[in-house]
Structure 1
Amino acid sequence: LEWSVEKDFYKVYYSTEQFESTGFTLETCENPGEVIKSIKTNEKIFETKIISLISRYGSDYEDLKEMLRVPEGNDFSFNFTYNNKTNIGTVKQIPSVNVYAEEIPVQYVDREANLEPGAITIKVW
């Protein structure tokens, strides 16, 4: 990869997600005729999708359970921990025994398109 320090380097992200702040428009691009040198595709977890899943838990529990492949005869709950340690999640009475829990570290894209660390905790019983 050759790069001249005299030229600007732009990283451009695309998503169908709507953000509260973008900070960049085509009008702010100094050289809109620049050539794309590299394309990388990856998937990210969006804060809005996590909130949507939590909402579905209350209104569409059985379909969500099937989508997440929770075994028949079991129940589940989950919560999400933001970078600032704030928790949001589902509310369900959990028995005191035979509960499997796992915390999964994730990087999520917040409402302003920032990549942040967080964690999803899933409990199945």
Structure 2
Amino acid sequence: MEKKLSQRKGSHVGIVLSFVIFITFIIFIYIIVQPTIKLDDRQNFLEHIEGEIIERVSTDLTSISVTIDKPGSQTCVELIDFFIITGISDRAIVKNDAGSILQASKNGNSLFVSKNSNDFFLKIHESEEFAGASGNAISPCQSLNEGGSGYNFGFVKTNKQIFETKIIKLINDYKNDYETLKGVLGVAPGDEFGFSFTYSDG
């Protein structure tokens, strides 16, 4: 979903990982007890479990790009009314154009960001999986209004992303409360399953 902010809607992103997911399911009851069951039925069941697992480890990530028209000499900017305009929560992180995470905090409805003097572009990521950015205002700070010679929005997009925190929770549920997890995922009594996640960089 991508749209311009004119519609007025819409971590450590280093924590948001791009995973190549390899999910292996071992369904003993189908293979051993019911060898004549149709392959299509087994495949449909596997696809269902795979979808359930991916849903449990994914959540919305909203990304917003901001350009600063006239950076001042201060090493901080205040984006006035940022949270009112975007409608996002303070569970956000801010990165510069080089991908470095910047110190950020929310005070009132403004977003305060510590930056280098040559940071003209900011990217804000918001998700329920991030810690809140609320805190004291950073000062001295260059106060900017939206539009004109202040700060301007580029794109706003929201999509599903896999989060490491959710994967860790799923693994813990699998280890500590396997039978309950089977019920939540819709695995029938007597059937067993397993899964694994592999980082895209190996």
TM range (shorter): 0.3 to 0.5
Q: Which has the larger radius of gyration?
A: 2
Decide which structure has greater strand share.
2
**So what's the TM-score if we normalise by structure 2?**
0.30
